[in-house]
Amino acid sequence: MPLSADRHGDYGVFDAEGHTSAVDFFAPEETNRSRYLDRELDRELDTVGSMRAWRTDAMHQHMYRTAAYWGDKVLSITDDSNDVFWLSQVYYLMGEYGRAINLLKKQSLVESSVACRFLAVQCLIRTQKWQEALEYLGEENQFLIKSEVSDSQQSNSGEGGIKLEASMCFLRGIVFKNLHNIDVAKQCFKEALRIDVKCYDALDIMISNNMLTTSEEQELISGLEFSKQLHGEDADFVKMLYQSKMKKAKEIYTTLATKFHTENADLLHAKADVYFTQGRFEKCLECTKRILEMDKFNLACIPMHLVSLYELDHKNELFLIGHELVDQHPKEAVTWFAVGVYYYLIGNIPEARRYFIKASTIDSHYGPAWIGFGHTFALEGEHEKAISAYGTSTRLFQGSHLGPMYIGMQHLQQNNAALAEKYFDACLTICDSDPLLLNEMGVMYYQLGRYDEAITSLHKVVKKLEHSQRKNVIWETTWLNLAHAYRKQGNYKEAETYFLKVDSIAKPGPTRASALVGLGFIYQIMGETKDAMEAYHKALAIRPGDQTATDMLQRIMEEKVRDYEMEWMREALPEEMMDDDGVERSIRALEEHRASTARALAALGSESGPGSGSGLGEGGGSSAGIEGTGRRKGTVSGLGDGGGGGGSSSRGKAKKENDPED
């Protein structure tokens, strides 16, 4: 029997062009529409019509068992293909995907009806039967018309719903993505948007999964035919909405705000993403909090919200949101990512790793989980395992700079700056505004002995962070690195300025101790031994086991003793005894000792510095070493510490606990 539209179930139906409408979407034009229009026959089928209405009303009210009950009774009476389709829809909505597929196959509708095939594919995707779904969809767009579509046909697409052809391309992309063929999946998503610009799912999955580089984003948006598919101002408006999700879209926020409500969640999400990339976590958190006030479980913004809470050390809030997500969304990857972030923050690395693994098990394409998983290894100095995890993230999210950046940081920690440079250069083509990336490039240039470039890169970090309210946390590392770079240049006055800046804002800890050792070092070179001793003593008060400070302080003390001995000999011994060979030998020995001290200082100056590219506070090498920022991040997609391979970061030393601290 030809399929026809249910007069009471007119939603989700597609016309011949693939638009949602209330007309027949499977049947040829010769469908006997008079069957439903003939008054006499309509009276005879009054009971069937009533049950169809009950089925439809129950679906609208989400009473799916009621809908299934009446749908089954209607199908038993009519054996109508339309009734098969709607009962299968009910089974799909109930989550009984196998039951829906069996019903469609039993009636042989999967082969004869595109809409039924579309529903069957959705069921197969839900049950993760990717290969079977691909067999139904085909590896290429089977709807593709060889001839050019006329302008008049294109212009009509804005009048209806989403084209079925575009939706099929989107599902094909989903299948290829889960078969780990990311390049083909990306092409399918692009094709879906080209066919119908209203197919937002295709755009969202590419943006949220960082499948596009900045240039690919711009190329995609410029290639979409908004004006042909949409009417008048709608075309410009939709184009601006899509551009707001791009990596470089700051200039359109004001325009959108005047036409679209400022507090719209998508617009706030786009602004939060910009703040996040810039390291302005307070502003990012303000945006995500407003989003969550409007929609408490907006899962799209939660990863940025979680990482911002991590960066700001908000343990209690992380603890609470983790519990809420576990209660409300236990099957979502972001839920267990949240739990992992909390354990990572309190220093319980094994538990953090366990929950990051759980998140990636639920969704193997969930990028933040892979980044977090890599961080747990990086923090323990397991460089190869960390690189492997970051590499997985890089393959899955080709449009994100985080994966290659963290790989570069691991190579930097292993003093392989030349290889790190290749990864960092690749990152710059994707994102050139991340302060963490610029800081790590400064560390890399330092290790390569390119101090001018190191200083330039680090000054860019300072400029990026000039509006940040977290200067005490972020700036201390950048200023410390600048001080060391200036020291290597021989510009001791500038080095002194930045060492003093770190000393003024840093809390007692490894970073401040490192700054004080560096300060003592340049004072000692400049001959200001009193100031040098004071700086070394302050460093040892913070970190008693600092070997560099101890050695330098001992050298100063030995030199002072020898100076005193020489002065005593010159004053106490008669002038005629000053020619004595023994005295002359003593004086020569003292001078040789001074020369040795100078050589040691020079040697220390060349050796200290490029420690860990990511070690927070300790730099991974000597206490006078340059260090990476190390505590950022994820992205929509990253997470806090970038590592700390040379030694545990301050975060890694946190005590293990099960409850949030105040």
Average pLDDT across the chain, whole number: 78
Residue 225 and residue 269 in one domain = no
In angstroms, the CA 131 to CA 140 distance is: 14
Q: Of 214, 231, 260, which residue is a domain's last?
A: 260
HEC letters along 198-240:
CCHHHHHHHHHCCCCCHHHHHHHHHHCCHHHHCCHHHHHHHHH
What's residue 13's pLDDT?
A: 41
Is the model's pLDDT at 304 over the cut of 60? yes
Identify the burial level of 109 via C-beta atoms within 10 angstroms of its C-beta, where 0-12 means exposed, 13-18 middle and 19 or more buried. Answer: buried
Question: Both 230 and 314 in a single domain?
Answer: no
Claim to verify: residue 278 and residue 352 sit in the same structural domain = yes
Burial (CB < 10 A; 0-12, 13-18, 19+), residue 467, is exposed
3-class DSSP state of 71: helix
Torsion from C-alpha of 119, 170, 247, 263, nearest 10 degrees: -30
The per-residue pLDDT for range 376-412, each reduced to its tens digit, is 999 998 999 999 999 998 888 888 899 999 999 999 9
Predicted confidence (pLDDT) per residue in 161-184, tens digit: 789 999 999 999 999 999 989 889
CA dihedral (47, 48, 49, 53) positive or negative: positive
Structural domain harbouring 333: 262-381+635-662
41 in a structural domain: no
| DSSP-assigned states of every residue in 136-172 | HH-SS-TT--SSPPPHHHHHGGGGSS--HHHHHHHHH
- HEC per residue, 377-421: HHHCCCHHHHHHHHHHHHHHCCCCCHHHHHHHHHHHHCCCHHHHH
Residue 422 counted as domain residue: no
How many structural domains are present in the chain? 2
Do residues 269 and 376 share a domain? yes
- Mean pLDDT, residues 602-631 taken together: 42
> Is a pLDDT exceeding 80 seen at residue 605?
no
Question: How many CB atoms within 10 Å of residue 254?
Answer: 9
Residue 151 has what pLDDT?
Answer: 41
Q: How confident is the model at residue 648 (pLDDT cuts 50, 70, 90)?
A: very low
Q: Tell me: do 242 and 298 sit in the same domain.
A: no
Rounded distance, CA 350 to CA 354, Å?
A: 6
Query: Are 302 and 323 contained in the same domain?
Result: yes
Question: Has residue 174 been placed in a domain?
Answer: yes
432 band by pLDDT with thresholds 50, 70 and 90? confident
Of 326-330, 410-414, 647-651, the least confident: 647-651
Inter-CA distances, 91 with 63, 130, 138, Å:
12, 20, 25
Q: Do residues 233 and 274 share a domain? A: no
Does 212 lie in the same domain as 315? Answer: no
Q: Retrieve residue 238's tokens.
A: 């939709």
**Residue 81 domain-assigned (yes or no):** no
Q: Find, among 33, 628, 651, the residue nearest to 379 by Cα.
A: 651
Coil, strand, or helix at residue 634? strand
CB 385 within 8 A of CB 377: yes
Question: How many alpha carbons fall within 13 Å on the CB side of residue 550?
Answer: 7
Burial of 384 (0-12, 13-18, 19+ CB in 10 A): exposed
Same domain as 240, residue 325: no
Q: Which of 242, 260, 278 is where one domain is finished? A: 260
Cβ distance 649 to 616 under 8 Å? yes
Gap between the Cα atoms of 412 and 517, Å rounded: 23
Is 594 domain-assigned? no
Task: Return the closest-CA partner of residue 272 out of 262, 284, 280, 264.
Answer: 284
Highest mean pLDDT range out of 14-18, 353-357, 396-400? Answer: 353-357
267 and 208 both lie in a single domain: no
**Residue 166 sits in the same domain as residue 188:** yes
With respect to residue 355, please indicate whether it lies within any of the assigned structural domains.
Answer: yes
How confident is the model over 201-258, as pLDDT tens digits? 999 999 888 888 878 888 898 899 888 888 878 888 888 888 888 765 555 666 666 6
Lowest-confidence pick of 18-27, 102-111, 382-391? 18-27
Contact 583, 573 (CB under 8 A): yes
b/e 171-203 (16+ beta carbons within 10 angstroms → b): bbbbbbbbeeebebbbebbbbbbbbbbbbbbbb
How much is the average pLDDT of 36-61?
75
Is the Cα dihedral 484, 486, 491, 494 positive or negative? negative
pLDDT confidence of residue 423? 94
pLDDT for residue 36 is more than 70:
no
Mark whether 331 and 350 lie in a shared domain: yes
CA 542 to chain centre: 35
DSSP letter string, 452-516: HHHHHHHHHHHHHTTT-S-HHHHHHHHHHHHHHHHHHHT-HHHHHHHHHHHHHHPPTTHHHHHHH
Task: Report the CATH number that the domain containing residue 642 is assigned in CATH.
Answer: 1.25.40.10
How confident is the model over 442-462, as pLDDT tens digits? 999 999 999 999 999 999 988
620 falls within a domain: no
Quote the pLDDT of residue 336: 96
The answer to whether position 179 is within a domain reads yes
Q: How far is CA 193 from CA 165, 206, 514, in A?
A: 10, 11, 54
Using the 3D structure, point to which of 227, 243, 260 is the last residue of a domain: 260
- pLDDT reading at 519 higher than 70: yes
Give the pLDDT of residue 400.
86
